[in-house]
Amino acid sequence: MTFRDLVKQPLYGIYERRLLQTIPSDRLPHHVGIILDGHRRYAREAGLPDYETSYRAGMAKFEDFLDWCHGLGIPAITAWVLSTENLKRPTDELDPYFDVLISLFERLPAHANRLGYSIRFIGSLDLLPDALVRAAKQAEEGASHGQHRLTIALGYGGRQEIIDACRELVSDLAAEGIPAANLAEHIDVDALSAHLYTADLPDPDLVIRTSGESRLSGFLLWQSAYAEYLFEDVFWPAFRRVDFLRALRDYARRERRFGR
């Protein structure tokens, strides 16, 4: 750690406390969606020896993020750690990331239980390696009773979620004996929402994406219709608590209209 870093640490602490004073507790989001983006670009800019080093830094930051949310009393988090599009990357990039995720999932239950979060995974797990799926399922089983909710989008695609919801809804209606000619009249917002991966969660209030990309890339497409979006320039491994507090301050200042 450099002398400059030693000087900056207490200054950031002072700034964080001041930021907290500007955020009314009744204006905090109940459900935060977070897109953990920018690992590879961070590795290149920071001159790291490989992507795996950046992945490990990013997953350590994710554990810090859970602590930040818990400290603020945010009851629901949905984190996108792996998309279906990511699965098209070269094996030499994916395999180290899978190993890092497995390591995260192995230690996550103890962390989540300490904070009072249950863990649930959403996405096309059938597309993922067996070892990763096993680690995810064991993490779910190891932290299933928390009052707060941590949802991890793994092998997730927003369009695929909507397709799966439509298929499941139509299948259920057919099983109820609804004639094919009458199916359409039974399909509405509430019926489709009930078949989404996150049917038992409130819609996100705030969605944050790091790395400077100003798009959702399919994250919670249906659920985020009226969410507030914040796009941060910083890469995920470098995302700081002060960046999160700034995002919450900006969110608290917005007037949510929900399309009205």
What is the SS3 assignment for 154? strand
86, 164, 172, 243: which one is catalytic?
A: 86
5, 26, 37, 188: which one is catalytic?
A: 37
Can you say whether the dihedral through the CA atoms of 201, 206, 212, 215 is positive or negative? positive
Tokens matching residue 219: 């994250």
Confirm whether 164 is a catalytic residue: no
The span from the CA of 11 to the CA of 100, in Å, is 32
The span from the CA of 221 to the CA of 224, in Å, is 6
Confirm whether 86 is a catalytic residue: yes
Cα 103 from chain centroid (whole Å): 18
Q: Which has the closest alpha carbon to 59: 89, 79, 88, 86?
A: 79
Q: Which residues pair with 148 in a beta bridge?
A: 117
In Å, how far are 25, 220, 226 from 257, measured between CA atoms? 20, 19, 8
Sheet of strand 206-209, all strands in order from the earlier edge strand to the far edge: 117-122, 148-156, 76-83, 31-35, 206-209, 228-231
Tokens matching residue 51: 């992507």
End-to-end CA distance of the chain: 50
What is the SS3 assignment for 80? strand
Q: Which has the closest alpha carbon to 209: 247, 157, 169, 183?
A: 247
**Residues carrying an active site annotation:** 37, 86
